[in-house]
Structure 1
Amino acid sequence: MRELPHWHTASAQGPRKHNADAVGAYAASGGTGIVFALADGVGDHPKAAHAARTAASAAARAPAEKGAVEAVLAAQRAVLQLGGAGDCVLVVAVQSGEGYGIAWLGDARAYAWDGYTVRQVTKDHTLAQYFRDHDQPVTPRMEHVVTTSVRTAGAHEIGAATIKTGGLLLTSDGVHKTLSGPTMLDILGMPDRAATELVRTAISLGGSDNATALVVDPPRADRTTEKFRVAA
């Protein structure tokens, strides 16, 4: 059985009435690895929170050997079975070799983190990103309008990427839309405290949303080589 990575997570409600963020992680006995999931409910109400918890749990319980896209589809099936109107966005990371397969819907993000550099590997499914891709002006409101979600997306709309490093950061937009890349990089250098500090700092800097982070520590770095730390 593959050795499981060391990981930690934190979440804060912030100024919202409900914390509609959720995380999940699961490694099946005798399985091939671990599945991580972070979901962010669409809206500030109990149905959004329920959808996020359902999606994160279903995605994390999906068989790791089937990959990240199948984990997102499992989350979608679970949310659709709820009925009602609750919805969420989602990012999933499935351990694959020394890295991770990534799949996502909406604006939950995954970053590669190797102990020295942090790099965003997902691309937001938002109206703002769509306009940027088409060289059109963007307004602040567009940053918060998602173009895909767990309840509504087709399978062909699921984003997919890979991370080759052993470290990983998953965030809800309450973290990454408040903190800059260099700030996140500095905080990631705090062993066992990074997730808590990412969330605490985002809220303290005026974040107006729920803030959630899941940090998977990279393997122990080579102490004989000095490297510069870079956020991209």
Structure 2
Amino acid sequence: MTVTRPGYPRWHTANAQGPRSLNADAVGAYAAAGGPGIVFALADGVGDDAAAALAARTAAAAAARTAVHKGPVEAVLTAGRAVRERTLGDAVLVVAMPAERGGYRIAWAGDARAYSWDGTTLARLTTDHTLAEYFRARHQPVTPRMEHVVTTSVRTAGPDEIGTAETTSTGLLLTSDGVHKPLGGSGIRAVLARPGTGAAELVEAALARGGSDNATAVYVEPVAADVTTERFPVAA
């Protein structure tokens, strides 16, 4: 899906269930009336069941509708409260809020990721909250299984456990691990470097590379790349 609205960046989102039994990824995007821009959120349910899917949908919606002045950390905390109220499931989450002077403020819990992209350079903005990253940072051996064990989540993260970052880039990419794990940074850059590509091509490439998870991406085009305007009908 591609969305273009006057005064807002052009952005795309794509999702595929992959070989999983259901889709437990979710995306939220919300522009409050009179607000400075669009808040984007991407959540990935922990597990492959209905509770995980509900947790992801709940987290993404609650985070995206958090007022921008409250900041992205509060968006993650708001998502946590909503998840605990509505389901026994859990999710990981990344949120991007417009910054006052351009770019985005990022907050996350778990291993959903944010990248900046200016049309040439891809920069990773987040660090996975996984057992693998915990031991890697301490120069300890890491096993493949550790890459899939998260150390924070929407349900459990307190304010001091939520990751934060900022970018001045107008180009932004949010991904679930079903995209960034099969592709890696070099694979993501190779896809985005091709003219006219975006979220859909990233998801397709991740599955073609052998991805075994739900795959979801949100891609906000850099302002310089927005040379055409395309109307997209959005259902009510």
Q: Select 2:80's aligned residue among 76, 79, 92.
A: 76
Return the offset for 1:192: 5.2
Distance 1:90 1:79 in 2: 12
Which residue number in structure 1 is paired with residue 187 of structure 2?
A: 183
Which residue number in structure 1 is paired with residue 174 of structure 2?
A: 170
How many residues were matched structurally? Answer: 221
Which residue number in structure 2 is paired with residue 29 of structure 1?
A: 33
Return the offset for 1:190: 4.2
Q: Select 1:5's aligned residue among 2, 6, 9.
A: 9
Sort the Cα spacing of 1:190 and 1:64 in 2 relative to 1 into closer, same or farther, 3 A: farther
State the SS of the aligned residue for 1:170.
strand
Which residue number in structure 2 is paired with residue 218 of structure 1?
A: 222
Distance 1:192 1:150 in 2: 34
Write the letter of the residue equivalent to 2:70.
K
Runs of 4+ in structure 1 over 4 Å off = none
The TM-score, its normalising length taken from structure 2, stands at 0.90
Distance 2:94 2:82 in 1: 15
What whole-Å deviation, never above 9, does each CA across 1:37-85 have from its counterpart, x for those lacking one? Answer: 00000000011000000000000000012111111111111101114x2
Contact in 1 for aligned 2:77/2:158 (Cα 8 Å): no
Contact in 2 for aligned 1:8/1:192 (Cα 8 Å): no
Give RMSD over aligned pairs.
Answer: 1.6
| Structure 1 segments unaligned to the other structure (5+ residues) | 224-232
Which residue number in structure 1 is paired with residue 62 of structure 2?
A: 58
Range with greater deviation from structure 2 (187-196 or 35-44): 187-196
State the SS of the aligned residue for 1:166.
coil
What whole-Å deviation, never above 9, does each CA across 1:128-167 have from its counterpart, x for those lacking one? Answer: 0000011100000000000000011111100000011110
Distance 2:48 2:195 in 1: 32
Range with greater deviation from structure 2 (191-200 or 156-165): 191-200
Distance 1:198 1:61 in 2: 26
State the SS of the aligned residue for 2:224.
coil
The TM-score, its normalising length taken from structure 1, stands at 0.92
Q: Select 2:129's aligned residue among 118, 125, 130.
A: 125
Distance 1:180 1:5 in 2: 25
Sort the Cα spacing of 1:190 and 1:8 in 2 relative to 1 into closer, same or farther, 3 A: farther
Distance 1:119 1:65 in 2: 25
